[in-house]
Structure 1
Amino acid sequence: MNIKVECHEANHICDKNQYKEATFWEKVKLNFHLIYCRACRKYSARNNKLTKAIKNPKVQTVSMSEKEAMKRRLEEQLSN
């Protein structure tokens, strides 16, 4: 059993882990790799941030009246 993985494999495991598809052994390998690889730690941190953003979006929508007002202003600007 080889615990060392290359960066491309670590990134693949990180992606699988993001979707809860990584096995326990893959997670062990990934965590071991992250101890000594700064680039993969950054990749993993970005992946985690992306996962959190997708799970808990803070999206604010514009009301229909605001959309209509923006559309009128845009049409006015284009006609000038």
Structure 2
Amino acid sequence: MKSKIRVFAPCEEVCQICDKVQYREASLSDKLKLNLHVMYCKTCRQHTITNSKLTKFIKKSKVKCLDHDCKEAMRETIDKALKEQQHQQP
């Protein structure tokens, strides 16, 4: 069975493709769809520009994420505080 490649994609699909491009997960056909679509869609073109800027800023910022153990400790602390708050309410 032959699969057809649709060149003109809807805006929702193009936004997803834009995100894939940001994380370098887009195929060549996805990139083609994105580039053709942003030629005529001002909204998606602006979204793509904004997304690219965001990616550059995040890379420049050298943000460090918490490791799994820190996240779990924070989650447990928050859960404990919420339970205590619920018990204090009349």
Same fold at TM > 0.5: yes
> Structure 1 residue runs of 4+, over 4 Å off?
none
Counterpart of 2:28 in structure 1 is 24
1:13 to 17, 39, 44: 17
Q: Percent identity?
A: 47
Q: Residues 24-45 of structure 1, C-alpha deviation per residue, up to 9 Å, x if partnerless? A: 1100010000000000001000
Letter in structure 2 aligned against 1:30 = L
Q: Residues 7-57 of structure 1, C-alpha deviation per residue, up to 9 Å, x if partnerless? A: 000000000000000001100010000000000001000100000001111
| Unmatched tracts of structure 1, length 5 or more | 60-80
1:4 to 5, 8, 11: 8
SS in 2 for 1:21: coil
Equivalent positions of 1:1-80 (< 5 A) are 1-57=5-61
| Unmatched tracts of structure 2, length 5 or more | 64-90
Counterparts of 1:19 and 1:53, CA distance in 2: 14
TM (norm. structure 2) is 0.62
Counterparts of 2:6 and 2:21, CA distance in 1: 19
Q: Residues 50-71 of structure 1, C-alpha deviation per residue, up to 9 Å, x if partnerless? A: 0000111188xxxxxxxxxxxx
Structure index of larger Rg? 1
